Amino acid sequence: MTMQNSYVSGVSETPLLGMTIGERFDETASRYPDNDALVVHHQDRRYTYRQLQQAVDECARALMALGVEKGDRVGIWSPNNAEWCITQFATAQIGAILVNINPSYRRHEVEYALRHSGTAVLILQGQFKTSDYVGMVGELVPSLLDRRQDRLASERLPELRQVVCLDSDRIAPGMWHWDEVTALAHQTDDADYRARQASLQFDDPINIQYTSGTTGAPKGATLSHHNILNNGLFVARRMNFTEQDRLVIPVPLYHCFGMVMGNLGCITHGATMIYPSEGFEPTATLEAVQREKATALYGVPTMFIAELEHPEFSGFNLSTLRTGIMAGSNCPAEIMRKVIDQMHMTDVTICYGMTETSPVSLQTEPDAPLDKRVNTVGTVHPHLELKIVDPANGHVVPRGEKGELCTRGYSVMLGYWNNDEATAKSIDAQRWMHTGDLATLDEDGYVAITGRIKDMIIRGGENIYPREIEEFLYTHEAISDAQVIGVPDDRYGEEVMAWVKLIDGQQASEDEIQAFCKANIAHYKVPRYIKLVDDFPMTVTGKIQKFRMREISIDELHLDH
């Protein structure tokens, strides 16, 4: 590593992969044909790499037969399943751009994503939980409810040509069923398929992922083969993955955590992808670890908390676990200790990143000290640069000072789909991605995230960082989780509010928690408001939605006057 002030670059003896996802997938399948590639428990399916390659090639040729050209957008709206994985690699094989659609989207949101991306073919599950996907798309494209057509006609989604449903019992008359589409594979000549693959370049766009859209309309981060294939490689490499590793993936595939850090991390090493359930279920996750003798497990802190607090936790044999990733939000020290000691994940790593950077920029080493795994997000990834700058003037700050974290390198997205203005606001002329996160860089090269620039609370001129108060609240014996936000205040501009989740069976009142704070932290950091909750508003990936917490709190406290 080279270091200068709050700047650092990651070096590696491992070169970047200059190939497409399809090329690497085929290379791995050739090297480890009989290794387990994919295990999907809730569908009771297993694929070796040779079998998965056959399924991917069949799907890829079928999509070509359906008229999918290089650069066409193929959307997938589904929770985790085998078809999601197959579609991911099949679209990569033919140069189609996969559009990941959040399983929790409602009609307005899916309409925006499909229209904005210009999705030509949509693959969807019939329904998931309370979401009727077929019904929502039928409202957007009424002709789907009548009969099959050569090409759909929809004023609201003018570029959508075909819809493919995974569930035969939920299919509408105008939709294809998955099995019908894969049966078209024979219509694509093998020479045409190989010619399509040969025409692809590793810098081609291959994936569009929509940001959560906490402010304004969602933005579609456009990622290339080079972006996400290499990120998957180096994430798994930092965990010392080999073809012997078996990874349980309970995080959503529609997000980079699942499809890049999970799927691409595995296929770059010949490791096994294991999906325990459609959506996160702690029982199914623990069962999958035990049944498959998993060596690695992914999750956000709330998932690990749910697993550790499972009433039958002690009955599961998790002794084969070695490593994994905890990411998405801050990890309390006590949870990290339990994951290492009780789940046997001695080499568990912490990751930091964002969709726009494919996603991981920083990751702890497997042997990083405990304090580095809970107080920092690790060191810079290979082939990437980072700097921490003063948000006011863009100058690099001295080592140890707070500033905005910026990253540069192969992982930075191509840009936001059809949104040059937003791209220019995020990626500057020197190709630095401005994350919007406040951070510090220590003498050992570890980065600590201190909050979002927009999350920082300014109370009567004092800058307050929510992370600091959250970490303190975790030390209370009755508190399981805590999230701190700023809410409007006539006198101070903003006041501190804490949403607190108690450990099952424990009790603590708002007054008791407030007294605990007053006795231990500076007065201006003491939350004026405390709200006891059972859960926090979250995205499907487990990220806390602080903007929703603010909206709810402002309404409940009548602070919008």
Residues 392-427 pLDDT 10s:
899 999 999 999 999 999 999 999 999 999 999 999
Q: In angstroms, what CA-CA distances link 556 with 384, 415, 551?
A: 44, 38, 9
Instruction: Delimit the domains of the chain by residue range.
Output: 15-319+409-428, 457-556
Which CATH number fits the domain 15-319+409-428, given the four candidates 3.40.50.12780, 3.40.50.970, 3.40.50.620, 3.30.70.100?
3.40.50.12780
Per-residue pLDDT at 433:
98
Q: What's the mean pLDDT in 215-239?
A: 92
Q: Tell me: the pLDDT tens digits for 127-179?
A: 998 889 999 999 999 999 888 888 898 899 999 999 999 998 989 999 999 99
Q: What's the mean pLDDT in 247-256?
A: 96
Backbone φ, ψ for residue 12 (5° rounding): -160, 145
- Place 540 in a pLDDT band, splitting at 50, 70 and 90: low
Short-list 249, 255, 200, 191, CA closest to 40: 249
- Place 468 in a pLDDT band, splitting at 50, 70 and 90: confident
Q: Tell me: the pLDDT tens digits for 3-51?
A: 579 999 999 999 999 999 999 999 999 999 999 999 999 999 999 999 9
Residue 215, pLDDT above cutoff 50 = no
Residue 212, pLDDT above cutoff 70 = no
Per-residue pLDDT at 205:
98
Per-residue pLDDT at 302:
84
Per-residue pLDDT at 100:
97
pLDDT over 90, % of the chain:
81
Q: What's the mean pLDDT in 445-460?
A: 84
Per-residue pLDDT at 214:
42
Decide: helix, strand or coil at residue 37.
strand
Q: What's the mean pLDDT in 354-362?
A: 96
- Place 285 in a pLDDT band, splitting at 50, 70 and 90: very high
Q: Output the average pLDDT for the chain.
A: 93
Which carries the bigger pLDDT value, residue 463 or residue 355? 355
Residue 465, pLDDT above cutoff 80 = no
Residue 2, pLDDT above cutoff 70 = no
Per-residue pLDDT at 301:
87
Q: What's the mean pLDDT in 375-386?
A: 96
Most distant CA pair in the chain, distance:
74
This prediction has a pTM of: 0.85
The answer to whether 374 and 331 are in contact (CB under 8 A) is yes
- Place 383 in a pLDDT band, splitting at 50, 70 and 90: very high
Residue 213, pLDDT above cutoff 70 = no
Contacts of 130 (CB under 8 A, 6+ apart): none
Q: Which spans in 141-261 are helix H?
A: 178-182, 190-198, 225-238, 256
Per-residue pLDDT at 1:
53
H/E element, 87: helix 82-94
Q: In angstroms, what CA-CA distances link 555 with 458, 509, 518, 544, 558?
A: 20, 22, 26, 19, 5
CATH number of 457-556: 3.30.300.30
C-alpha span between 462 and 458 (Å, rounded): 5
**For residue 367, what are its two tokens?**
């042997």
* Strand duo 7-9 + 384-389: pairing: antiparallel
H/E element, 296: strand 296-299
10 Å CB burial of residue 528 (0-12, 13-18, 19+) is middle
Lowest mean pLDDT among 151-155, 296-300, 482-486: 151-155
